[in-house]
Structure 1
């Protein structure tokens, strides 16, 4: 089943294709104008920064011999839980519609779990939109909805709030 696909770590040269896949995911999530990152941002943050700000696994369709052979990606980064220790955060998981139902999403998550285990991580955290049909897929793989189990709600300081708060820190 997987003979036409290869899971590997992304390279700097993959960033243009990854950006296209990010836009496909945003379109699916009804957030077409959401992604503001450029290819250069992805290259800087994923490959030029020390430490890297994110890592990425990609699915390569090995039947395509030209550019444009990526059909899925999983972006993640290390984080830390004061309750459990080292963790990973899965930011995005996406497989193009033409390549779904082949087990590629499952395979990407299995590769991420292998890496998490090798790094001594105790958990992989991620968010999913409440209407996303992938919830059934995540449950089938053993993921738990911690919003239900532990009553956690996700919050965010956006760019403007960060700027305002940072300014207050500078003045004190």
Structure 2
């Protein structure tokens, strides 16, 4: 916990099952910010199942500024076969615009870094759209853009075809 410039208490806490609707609101706000709002097909039930169900695939934390939910992060582990060590991948990081430049994003990133360090991870990774002004924030934290790597994605029909499923 820390106090920020407007003297409200900033708390980063693990998300609970009761936060599924809140997380879905954050996801929609993030998608709108990225001009991808029409691409969101996730639901509150899907968020609950994937974060809190029988086999959780990821974890989430919520940044509360006073009584107000200000931001969130969703992360999961990855693995480097070259190094033989785990890493932490941040799938989503978002702070509502009215709470930006108040230390919320840095507190979320610091929390994720502590999780990574505590779990023996050797690195933390995430992706950002090339136009996202948060890239400067990430660089101020010491992160480096790895522009030589391209992200590939196989989804939907193409994924099922490769898997050999009947499409």
Whole-angstrom CA distance in 2 between matches of 1:164 and 1:49: 28
Q: Is the 8 A contact 2:80 2:87 kept in 1?
A: yes
Gaps of 5+ in 2: none
Aligned equivalent of 1:137? 137
Aligned equivalent of 2:22? 17
Could you state the TM-score of these two structures normalised by the residue count of structure 1?
A: 0.88
**Runs of 4+, deviation exceeding 4 Å:** none
Gaps of 5+ in 1: none
Q: How much is the aligned-residue C-alpha RMSD, in angstroms?
A: 1.4
SS of equivalent to 2:39: coil
> How much does 1:100 deviate?
0.8
Aligned equivalent of 1:120? 120
> How much does 1:161 deviate?
1.3
SS of equivalent to 1:155: coil
Aligned equivalent of 2:70? 71
Whole-angstrom CA distance in 2 between matches of 1:49 and 1:88: 21
> How much does 1:21 deviate?
1.0
Q: Determine if the alignment matches structure 1 residue 94 to structure 2 residue 94.
A: yes
Q: Is the 8 A contact 2:91 2:126 kept in 1?
A: yes
Q: Is the 8 A contact 2:70 2:104 kept in 1?
A: no
Question: How big is each residue's C-alpha offset from its partner over 1:46-76, in whole Å with a ceiling of 9 and x where there is no partner?
Answer: 00132x10101111232x3xxxx32200000
Question: How big is each residue's C-alpha offset from its partner over 1:9-64, in whole Å with a ceiling of 9 and x where there is no partner?
Answer: 000111101111111111110111121110000100100132x10101111232x3
Aligned with residue 60 of structure 1, among 54, 64, 68? 64
